[in-house]
Copies of this chain bind each other. A is one copy, B any other.
C-alpha cells in the first residue's frame, strides 16, 4: 500500500477502529461526500484533530473504510461458501443491505477519487473471481445453458442484487419480488435446496 507509510498510530488501535467504523456509518447514512473529518469525529465522539492524527489525509481514511468493507465482505463470502447451502448463502451476501450499500457508495466514491479507484477495482475483480471459482466448484457440470458460464452467472446475480439494494434505498420495489423469485427459481434449477 502506497499509504502505509503515512499511517500513524497502530493498526490495532481501538481508537483507530472506532474512527473507521464511524466513517463507515456516515458514508452509509449520508453518502460518501459527508464523510468529512469533522463529521466523522463528531459521530465517533472524538475531536477532529484525533482523526487527522490517525489519518493524515482524508484519502487515508476512505481507504481504511474501503479496506474494512472489503475484509468484511471477504469474510462473509468465506462463511457463505462454508455454509451447508453455499449457493443460497452466496446469493444472500449479494443482497445483504449494509454490505452492498457500502459497496455501492464506495463505487460512487471511486468516481471522483481516482486514487481509490484502483483499489476498489482490484477488490471487485477479486470477489468476482472467487464467486466464479465457487460456482465452478459447486456446480461444475451442472452449469446449464440456462445459467450460462459461471462468469456470466456471477455478474448477473451481482447486478440483480445491487439493483435490489439500490432501488430499495430509493423506496422503489416494483419488480423486486418477481426478480427475487426468479433468482430462487434459477438457483433451484441449478441445485435443489438441501442438496448442497
CB of A170 within 8 Å of the partner chain: yes
User: Do the beta carbons of B148 and A182 come within 8 Å of each other?
Assistant: yes
B128 x A170 contact (CB < 8 A)? no
B152 touches A175 (CB 8 A): yes
Asked whether, in the complex, the Cβ of B175 is within 8 Å of the Cβ of A132, the reply is: yes
* A110 close to B (CB within 8 Å): yes
Q: List residues 98-119 of chain A with CB under 8 A from any CB of chain B.
A: 104-105, 107-112, 117
Chain B CB within 10 Å — which of A33, A159, A176 has the most? Answer: A159
Interface size, chain A (Cβ < 8 Å): 53
A57 proximal to B (CB < 8 A): no
Residue ID in chain B nearest A30 by CB atoms: B112
User: Which residues from 123 to 145 on chain A have a C-beta closer than 8 Å to any C-beta of chain B?
Assistant: 124-125, 128-129, 132, 145
Tell me the complex Cα distance, A40–B160, Å: 34
Check if A50 is an interface residue, CB within 8 A of chain B: no
A177 proximity list for chain B (CB < 8 A): 151
Interface string of A153-196 (1 = CB under 8 A from B): 11110111111101101111011111101100100000000000
State whether the Cβ of A149 lies closer than 8 Å to any Cβ in chain B. yes
Q: Take A30-B112, A182-B152 as given contacts and tell me if A163 and B166 are in contact as well, using a CB distance cutoff of 8 Å.
A: no
Inter-chain contacts of A120 with B (CB < 8 A): 170
Residues of B within 8 A of A129 (CB): 174
CB of A73 closer than 8 Å to a CB of B = no
21 A–B contacts, CB within 8 A, in A order: A30-B112, A31-B109, A31-B112, A34-B112, A105-B111, A120-B170, A121-B172, A125-B174, A128-B174, A148-B181, A148-B182, A149-B178, A149-B182, A151-B178, A152-B182, A153-B182, A155-B160, A159-B161, A159-B164, A162-B163, A162-B166
